[in-house]
Structure 1
Amino acid sequence: MAGDCNRNYVTFFAIFVTFLFLFNAPIASASGGGVTIESESINLVDFQTTDESYFELEFNLSSTDEGLGVNYVGQVYFEASAIDGTVLINSSISYDLVEGVQQEISYNFTSLNYGYTIISVGLTGDVGIESQNDISNFQRTIHRLNPLNISIAPESSIILESIDSNSVLTGNYSLSDGDFVQLQIPIINSGDYLWTGSVNLSLDNGITSEQQSSAVFDLNGMSTKIVYFNSTVQVFEGFFSISISLNGTIDDYITDNFQNFTASVNPPPLPILETSIVYDGQNLVSGENLEITVQTYNNGTVDFSGEKTCLFDQEIVYNSAIIVQSSSNTNVDFTIILKPGELVCYLSGQRIDPSSINTSTETFTVESALFEYAGSFTPSTTDGPWHVGDESTFSLLVRNTGTKQGNVSLKMESSAGNYQGSMVSLGPDEAGEVTITVPILVSGTEQFNWSLYSTDGEIADDISGEILLPVSERQSFELSLYDVSWTIDDGVTANWLVNLSSGIDREINVKLGYGSNLDDTIVYDVDMTISAGSSGDTFNFGFVDAEYVIIRVQEINWTSESSFSSFTKSIPQDRPQYTISFNSQSNPNRPVAGETASVTVLLENQGSITGESGTIILYDRDGFKLAESSTTPIAAGSSKTISFSFAWPEGDEVRLNCKWDYGGDTLQIDNIFLSSIVTEESSDSFTIPWSGILGGLAVSSLIILMIRIRENSNRQPKKPKSEVKTRKNESVQLSDVKIEISCPVCSRQLRVPENYQGSVRCPDCSHSFEVGSEDIDEEEVQEEEELIEDINDGKVEISCPECSQSLRIPESYDGSVRCPSCKMIFKSKDG
């Protein structure tokens, strides 16, 4: 009915429009003159475009000039219609033109539709004759451009395809767990303007996400482009999120520039399993082995890889990896000790199809031992109180009320682990005690769930329970060494201390020792029991050479709370530092064998504290003790000289050894002293060499005379000098008082009368020198020296091997020589 009404309306509208055009058709003037439209003045070309919703049409009317002086009148009709013929605007204006004039016509078409609009213009009334430039009507099409309208196609138009890791289509009609995804996204430009931009994509599979962007592209107006994305992350069963957005020129309607939705993912292909337990059910006897076979079938299209687990009476009797290929079966075999109970086998690991039968159960009922309470209903313990790290032992009395012998034990479970005691074998109607020792690992209140366990018997109902133990914090101890000291009387002494935190008595092992450079020596090793609080003692290490003392403590049958098990303390290093040295000069300088002589020893303390007392003994080279003296403690930085007087031993050279014992240490030194061969010191043996002296003076006078005669013959006479004083060799009475003089060559000490003046000959080096006279004329002495330099005096020059001091000795002398500079004694042949 509605369709017939619409057809009648269209028919009526078509007749009306036809009539209207016929009525408005231009009628040419009878005289041939009239009004026309100048076609070149029309400001609208066919299919002209515009961005606006209106258009102002302009053109000129012109009238012919016939010379009749008449006016031409009529109307200009305007019409706008859609492409489908629908009239949108229908209007007219009047004109009245004198011959030979023009009139500008303007008409504003408003509310233009987007797209194409046909504009028609025609004249009625006094219409002139048309020519090439003069027309009576025209028709133009104007195109109002659609604005930019870019959008993403709706979710229903976006295609999701399954691809593999190489971005190759799998051909599946849906997405499955583990697939990669290809997205085909239509981008639609519904406007008439070019759009330039890119597409952004974000995928989130619930575990990882990825973001991608397309290359920038152009999309012409009124066109569509399909953009492809291949994911690099897999999708998983369930849903994954997709976010799509446009990046480029923004249109006025931005809602369709984004698309956010989720897509579903189907489960992957899964194994379809079926498992069963097979065994020989004939002649089942408790306590004997029973072979079990577990068969598993896979009726699915993918392989199964997982674990097969079997529990007998809640105890794992089989657990191993298993692979069951698709459309095949696999068997596993194991053995159990038969007793009343339930055997359960199941598969785990890989996901399987919900229709699978992956669990199989078998219940065994046989005659066996049956264990029940025989006393208390709860295990008892006699130890405690407890600290973390301790152990507790529980016991329970049970009885076998079954028909066969069986084995039973006590099991306990806590938050730290599972524990099982030793098995106890009980015959029928026999009672016994089962025990278990468990560690205490949690402070506060630790809960233990206990139960009976049998490998070949049955446990009566309700023989289980829980025990709560109050547990204190783990005990700890601290070590200390203090008042570490060193004395000359006791050596190293230290006080040690072990401080045990509150709680029960504990047994420990204590080691004390000393060391240097991490090399320790233990001298005290004792096991002891200590109570809470401080325990310690004083220990003397004696005289040890060490840098530190150390204490080590080890717990015995318990564990402390992260305490340090060793402690060291430095030993004070302040010590006396004794040195001993001989005075190289004996008294007298060259003692005579058998006579009393003395030597001195210098004792020094170069340390920082007072040293110990001791004994110093003097020996000869054969170990014969010559003298002995005790020494008192020497203060820091002080010294002491010890003098020994004794009968001088035989020998040209006497080696003396000195040993100093103090505390537990000993110092030893030795030194060589020279003895006298010819004794010159006594008045009875001392002889003045008068003949040598007089002969020497005569020779000297003769030499001086010859020198002066030679000088006088070679130079002008000089003024006579004052008479040279000569030493009168008068015979005088020598004094009984003697003094010591030193030989200028070898430093040999000689004793002469104190009033003796003259020449003395050294018995060691045979050197002769003057004593007692100092009035010799300087010039005469100089002349004598010059003469002596030219005459061989029978002496040679040697050097001290220690300091290189030059010495002159007679050529024939081969004895010992003492250096006057460094006091070293050496053989003349070594110089």
Structure 2
Amino acid sequence: MKGSIERSTAFCIVLLASFSICIISPDHTLTNGQDFGKMSSGDSNSTANFSSSGDSGIAVSGEPAFLGDSLIAAVLVSNSGNSSGSVDLNLEHVSSGQFFSGEKTLISPGSTREIAANFSPVEKGQNFFRWWVSSDGGNISSTLFGEFSIEAYDSQDIFLSLESYEWSDELGLEVSISVILSPGKSRNIDLILSKEHGGATSQLQSISVKLDPGKRDLNFELGNPQLDSIHIEAVPIGWAHSSNSTDSSFMPVELPSLDPSMLSVEATFSPEMPTSGERVVAKISLSNSNEFQAEAGKVRVIHSSDKTILAETSVQSVNPGSTVTSDVAVQSWPGGDRIELEVQWSTGEVSSEKFFSVNSQVEDPLIDVPFDIVSAGFGILAGSMSIMVGTLIWRAVSTRTPTTSDEGLRETKERSESQSRKEKSEISCTHCDQRLMVPSGHVGAVRCPSCTMEFKVGVAEESKVVVRSKEDILNCPECDQALRVPIEKRPVMSRCPVCKIEFMAESEVM
């Protein structure tokens, strides 16, 4: 009896030990001799039965492998059951325990499907992996698990460099770059070019390139962008480069210089003859005859007499051979019968200006009177005529005396007119050629009522100031204002619209 009890106790201990081993052993660590189908619950007549298709085993694609590469492991799985089921492929790196899993794949009864999982080598050298196929409810054959190994090399290096840039008439900005890929596999990358302007960054171009090991030179044509610098970046597609790589490059860019003489400014004013204090709109046209783009800038309307900025606005960039029109509002028109203006266009480091003279209307002040002005005007006219008639009659009566005759009166009148002619002389305005009568012997300034300009008579003529330059632009000798006098028209007398001084403009001998 005692021996029977001891044998029963030993049997229970062995049974409990076997049960514990079954509980703690994970599915993917079972030995080669075990049958996964026996571990699945349920009736095999109503389930999916999965097994490896033939002796294909697991296949790995993407070798030779480099650290950071994405590889693919795949296996063919057949369903010999009578029910559909889903399976997935699982991988585990033996030394690190890193786990990889593929997507679940539905397999119909009698069908064979390839199931796959993406994975990457974890360390340089030999990498050992366990693999197994799992299912939510189907029976798994012992042929759907195992081990494999791959050899991994150091990640490949990539070196990206912006070599140079050049501005051309036809293509604008051309950028040259070089890319070096270390020995190994051919690689796909995205090259992204960006610009920085005014603190903001924006993308210019993006292209995909397949690189072979070695050096490759590439050129990019970017047109005429507004920028301060250019940046390029290489982005690997499906792989990772080494930490020693240079995957980006930066280079400051200088915009091409513009010729100010190839920039022109035109303006019209509405209304054409404004009054003091009135709002005036200037329609300004900016033309760029340069071979490069004029970047965004500003337009100013300046009162020439005191350099007051009457209006200012920002204008867009102007492409080569293009014209841009912008409206600028002068909120309060200055007073005067003729206003001298300067319209100035500033773009980058250069500027272009043009001077305009605008006639203005001078309004008479309105007087509010408590009577009808028209009636009062007629009354004044009638009274004036009465006075004139009375005066003529009185003079006729008072001047006829017994000793006075018609012949004496005529002689006195002729002598008076001759004396009057002798007292005045005729001269010509030096500005508009208007004929003027001035007192004989007058010395000093004379103001022309036609052009309102002043000039001197009766004084010795001052020697003319001569200003020379090698280009169309020269400076006023009095106020240093920049003036445009074309070379082909010189020598010519010129007049500064600001200080009104006249001088001789000549070409400087080369």
Q: The TM-score by the shorter chain falls in which range? A: 0.3 to 0.5
TM-score with structure 1 setting the length: 0.30
Name the structure with the higher strand share. Answer: 1
- Does 1 or 2 have the higher relative contact order (CA < 8 Å, sep 6+)? 2
Highest CA radius of gyration, 1 or 2?
Answer: 1
